[in-house]
Amino acid sequence: MNATLLSVNVGRAETGDWTGRVGRTAIRKRGLDGPVTVRRDGLVGDTICDQKYHGGPDNAVYVFAREDLDRWAEVLGAEVPDGQFGENLTSRGIDVNEALVGERWRVGTALLEVAKVRTPCKVFTGFMGLTGYDSGQWVKRFTREGRPGPYLRVLEEGVVQAGDPIVVEHRPEHGVTVSMLFRAITTERDLLPQVLAVEALSDTVRTKFAARA
């Protein structure tokens, strides 16, 4: 199957007692028809509420695979729609968790690069419960799965839309995948030295974990 962009998703801010320390979140995404502009700090039309952990150069675009959503649907016993995990891009036909840090994808006219990984939080847990899913021990369950999906930086701004092919234009040789990076910062700290040696790794990750390596 050719790698394809299945859905482009954006969200608007909402409040509630489940929205964590910031008190606002745009994790609830809706799919858009037609072209969407991708800027250095994210998608046009997507609200960024927590500037510390979302948006910006290394958190500009979050992608999650339809195949992984389907696996979660089996675990949760309910349909999981595109965008449910707060992703901006829902992909199909590419294993985004086996992508390498620094891997570059051409999507529409934008050039995107794998920079870091998503880590689960209380807002994610709250949203899953709010929308009718079993959110018990959600952070631990999501972490144990080890397939978080990557955050992408925008090397070239452009326009994307559902149906665009996802073309891998560059794949590094270091072997550090998205899943490996996630394990290194969560459950397998012995992997940190190898991960921190990757040039394309987000500076925020490098700074946070360098002393723990």
Q: How many structural domains compose the chain?
A: 1
Domain carrying residue 128 = 4-172
- What's the rounded Cα separation, in Å, for the pair 5 and 40? 19
Q: How confident is the model at residue 49 (pLDDT cuts 50, 70, 90)?
A: confident
Q: Does a structural domain hold residue 21?
A: yes
Within a domain: 180: no
Is 67 contained in some domain?
Answer: yes
Query: pTM of the full predicted structure?
Result: 0.95
Q: Has residue 131 got a pLDDT over 70?
A: yes
Q: What CATH number has the domain bearing residue 20? A: 2.40.33.20
Asked whether residue 194 is assigned to any structural domain, the reply reads no
Position 43 scores a pLDDT of 97
**Residue 116: which of 181, 51, 38, 171 has the closest Cα?**
181
pLDDT in tens, 163-195: 999 999 999 999 999 999 999 999 999 999 999
In a domain, 117, yes or no: yes
